[in-house]
Amino acid sequence: MVSLAAAVAGVATILAVAGSGPQIRRLWRTHDATGVALSTATIGIVSEAAWVRYTIDGGLWSAVPESVLATVVNVLLAGAVIRAGVPLARAAAGTVGWCAVLVAAELVGGAAALGVVLSMACAVQLAPAVWVAYRCGAPSGVSSGSWALVGIESVLWAVYGIAEGDVALLLLGIIGTAAAIAIVARVAAGARTARPLHLGGIRSWA
């Protein structure tokens, strides 16, 4: 019989894959990456690869598929953002630096130290997404649907972390939920600001 924790991880894995779809489609269709942070995807590739190592070492087998699939999803997302015209150089520099931190943690303290660093991985990965979304005038390239699913997925990972007694996964869930709420709110605010107005038959933008 499948445990409740495994079921929660399974649903979270499905959401992790499905949630990327709207964002990738939006980028591919519109070539508009306004408000989208490339470094969130590139850092995500590195972080998720490290999560694969951590979950296998910790015997958190229900979480392994999500880490593997999320690595692939972040590769696809990074490709879509680059295709939309966002330069790679700045994101690459930050990603290499984060990779060095993860490798150093593994070499110095093994899986235990890696887990401590990974507890901060979600913040490192999602901070650029929140920053870029709030910095631009209107984040027209951001899919609120994708981020809503990220929020639900993050809640489930927090539940899974509690069930398994894993602090790193619990923090991932809390930080992911907060970031998703912040970005969905920003997209909604941007949409209201940019809504079309009809003034005396003349179409303009607020």
pLDDT of residue 202 exceeding 70, the answer is no
Higher-pLDDT residue of 102, 195: 102
Residue 17: per-residue pLDDT: 86
Structural domains of the chain, count: 1
Q: Element (H or E) spanning 197, and its range? A: strand 196-199
Residue 1: per-residue pLDDT: 58
CA 17 to chain CA mean position, Å: 11
pLDDT tens profile 43-99: 999 999 999 999 998 898 888 998 999 999 999 999 999 999 999 998 999 999 999
pLDDT of residue 6 exceeding 90, the answer is no
Q: For all residues of the chain together, what is the average pLDDT? A: 88
**Residue 81, both tokens:** 């953002």
Asked which of 34-43, 111-120, 122-131, 187-196 is least confident by mean pLDDT, the reply is 187-196
HEC per residue, 114-128: HHHHHCCHHHHHHHH
Domain containing 20 equals 4-205
pLDDT tens profile 141-189: 999 999 999 999 999 999 999 998 988 889 989 999 999 999 999 999 9
Read off the pTM. 0.84
Q: Element (H or E) spanning 135, and its range? A: helix 121-135
